């Protein structure tokens, strides 16, 4: 029964309070991250898979590295996001993008975080367009990554191509903006000069994603944003309609 007696014993008196300090010394820790992306208007290209295969050759003259073709996300990873605090989404992203190069991964990070790319439908033709990488192969904050992004028009089946560029990280440099604008214009001109372009796309915006239209592509499983879609924006194949 000794523990009962011990419990009743009075608590020790608290130590006398410390004199309140006038000021607390503290070290500050901060990181300022900035990402910038640019996307051009869309250009219409012929509805032809062979034209899609020619796109890397259009980007190539403007890139310091070989062009990496980064396909839209497979259906099972369609929620993937590079936002680190979205744990399930980032896990999908890592799995879906494990074979992408450091340059392509940096490009995807910048362009997806800024919504310049929608990887549920976009195919991204990526390269290092300006600047250097660090010793692990990742682009420096003032390096410019980008190339072309494409998806298929839901109504005409034509390939819609946009020039996309992005940069950023732990810093920004004034001249990156100017060089970026020049590169974006060159990419766009390169598509026009390729001879594949049929003209400007009426709407540069991507098709509506995420709404439940019930119309699903029989080839890749993508669910179209609109029930009026004739072609899959992701793979370009004709939608098969139930009767």
The token pair at 23 is 């000021």
Of residues 141, 188, 222, 231, which one binds Zn ion by CB under 5 A?
222
Q: State the nearest-atom distance from the C-beta of 218 to Zn ion, in Å.
A: 8
Residues 186/200, Cβ–Cβ less than 8 Å: no
Torsion of the alpha carbons at 75, 155, 161 and 57, rounded to the nearest 10: 80
**Cα torsion 52, 53, 59, 61: sign:** negative
Q: State the nearest-atom distance from the C-beta of 236 to Zn ion, in Å.
A: 7
Distance CA 207, CA 228 (A): 12
Q: State the nearest-atom distance from the C-beta of 32 to Zn ion, in Å.
A: 41
Query: Count of H helices and E strands in the chain?
Result: 5, 7
Residues 200/41, Cβ–Cβ less than 8 Å: yes
End-to-end Cα, the chain, rounded Å = 83
**Listed residue (124, 141, 120, 140) closest to 132, CA to CA:** 140
The stretch near Zn ion (CB under 5 A) out of 128-136, 184-192, 207-215, 216-224 is 216-224
The stretch near Zn ion (CB under 5 A) out of 89-97, 144-152, 156-164, 235-243 is 235-243
Which is closer to Zn ion, CB of 186 or CB of 216? Answer: 216
* Helical H segments across 163-215, by residue range: 174-193
What number of chain residues touch Zn ion (CB under 5 A)?
7
Which is closer to Zn ion, CB of 42 or CB of 236? Answer: 236
Q: State the nearest-atom distance from the C-beta of 146 to Zn ion, in Å.
A: 25
Distance CA 116, CA 98 (A): 21
The stretch near Zn ion (CB under 5 A) out of 67-75, 129-137, 144-152, 226-234 is 226-234
Of residues 51, 91, 216, 219, which one binds Zn ion by CB under 5 A?
219
Of residues 217, 223, 229, 231, which one binds Zn ion by CB under 5 A?
217
The stretch near Zn ion (CB under 5 A) out of 35-43, 73-81, 116-124, 218-226 is 218-226
**Count of CA atoms in the C-beta half-sphere (13 A) of 228:** 5
Task: Determine the 3-state secondary structure of 45 from DSSP.
Answer: strand
Q: State the nearest-atom distance from the C-beta of 48 to Zn ion, in Å.
A: 16
Of residues 59, 191, 215, 232, which one binds Zn ion by CB under 5 A?
232
Look at the block and give the residue holding tokens 């839901």: 154
- Binding mask of the shown chain, residues 173 to 212, with x at each position contacting Zn ion by CB under 5 A: ----------------------------------------
Of residues 69, 75, 179, 220, which one binds Zn ion by CB under 5 A?
220
Binding site for Zn ion (CB under 5 A): 217, 219-220, 222, 232, 234-235
């Amino acid at each position: 029964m000794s523990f009962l007696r011990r419990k009743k014993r009075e608590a020790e008196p608290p130590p006398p309070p410390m004199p309140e300090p006038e000021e607390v010394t503290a070290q500050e820790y901060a990181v300022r991250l900035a990402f910038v992306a640019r996307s051009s208007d869309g250009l219409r290209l012929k509805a032809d898979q062979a034209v899609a295969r020619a796109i890397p050759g259009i980007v190539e003259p403007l890139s310091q590295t070989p062009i990496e073709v980064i396909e839209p996300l497979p259906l099972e990873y369609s929620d993937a996001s590079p936002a680190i605090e979205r744990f399930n989404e980032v896990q999908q992203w890592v799995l879906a993008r494990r074979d992408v190069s450091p340059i392509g991964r940096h490009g995807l990070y910048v362009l997806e975080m800024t919504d310049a790319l929608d990887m549920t439908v976009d195919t991204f033709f990526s390269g290092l367009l300006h600047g250097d990488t660090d010793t692990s192969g990742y682009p420096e904050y003032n390096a410019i990554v980008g190339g072309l992004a494409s998806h298929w028009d839901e109504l005409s089946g034509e390939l819609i191509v946009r020039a996309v560029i992005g940069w950023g990280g732990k810093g920004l440099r004034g001249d990156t903006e100017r060089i970026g604008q020049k590169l974006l214009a060159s990419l766009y001109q390169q598509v026009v000069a390729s001879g594949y372009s049929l003209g400007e796309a009426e709407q540069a915006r991507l098709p509506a994603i995420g709404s439940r239209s019930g119309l699903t592509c029989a080839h890749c499983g993508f669910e179209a944003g609109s029930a009026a879609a004739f072609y899959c924006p992701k793979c370009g194949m004709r939608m098969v309609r139930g009767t």
